[in-house]
Amino acid sequence: MTKTSFLGDQPVSQIGYGAMQLAGPGVFGPPRDKAEAIAVLRRAVELGVDHIDTAQFYGPDVVNDLIREALHPYADGLKLVTKVGARRDDKAAWLPADRPEELRDQVEQNLRSLGIEQIELVNIRLMDDQHPSDVPLADKVEAIKALVDEGKVRQIGISNASLEHVQEALALTPLGEIQNAYSVANRKDEAVLDLCREHGISYVPYFPLGSAFAGGPKALAADPVIAGVAEKHGVSASQIALAWLLAHYDRMLLIPGTSSVAHLEENLAVGDIALDADDLTQLEGATQLGDPMAAVQH
């Protein structure tokens, strides 16, 4: 049974759904199988998912439309979370789009495409060294705070953020969540996670199974520590990796993504896995692979 946690100040199930993979390859273009994408979204809600992570630039202009087609009018209590600060060009490149007027326009696009009047939480996606931005973080935060004041956004989050970014943002506004790369095989973000614990901020790990650039689920399955715990519980290595995250912090929110109903059901079954103290001690020794491309495509 999946536990209840919090998305900012709102109670939610600890396992949600990340809709990014519903777009085509490279998070670009339409899905390979639209009917399956619709089925995944509907099955997720049937199984108790009450928060979905999305973005207008997934596709672009694809995933939000699928969510609306599959789920609108939305079930009571369903929280929709989006992300702003980037755009895609016609060659599928990820580019910064984080000037205040661009952030406002992206929020408005999300509202229209999802068919809602208020977004539960908007994450400000910060760019990486490969895609630098010269817009001060304070300007970005103030742009979203204005939308909170207008009632179009309930909470503010930040994604792809360093410890310094989070500290700067917290000096400007309360944060509902931090969304960074983190997994049993990539714990480089421990300092940010510790800050979240200190302030009671929800933490949403992207690439919870490691990024494809660092081997992804195959690398997890090849790790003897993870494989051993998985064998003990009769589940997959990926499920153990997700269960480890759930046990790591009570405000850890998972948003594993998939375009398959069967894989969705496997992910949600993680809530029934109870890792004991010995399991957790062993998993501390899992190989650290890192995510050399963690800042792209999320």
End-to-end CA distance of the chain: 28
DSSP summary character for residue 61: T
Cross-strand bridge partners of residue 78: none
Burial letters 249-283, b for 16+ CB under 10 A, else e: bebbbbbbbbbebeebebbbbbbebebeeebeebb
The two tokens of residue 48 are 């108790």
Give the rounded distance of the alpha carbon of 80 from its chain centre: 11
State the DSSP code for 209. Answer: T
Q: What three-state secondary structure class fits 235?
A: coil
Q: Catalytic one among 17, 58, 206, 249? A: 58
Reading the block at residue 61, the tokens are: 């202009």
Both tokens assigned to 182: 């983190």
DSSP run (H or E) holding 122: strand 119-125
Largest Cα separation within the chain, whole Å, is 53
Where b means 16+ CB within 10 Å and e means fewer, 74-110 reads: beeebbbbbbbbbbbeeeeebebbbbeebbbebbebb
Whether residue 58 lies in the annotated active site: yes
Supply the residues annotated as catalytic: 58
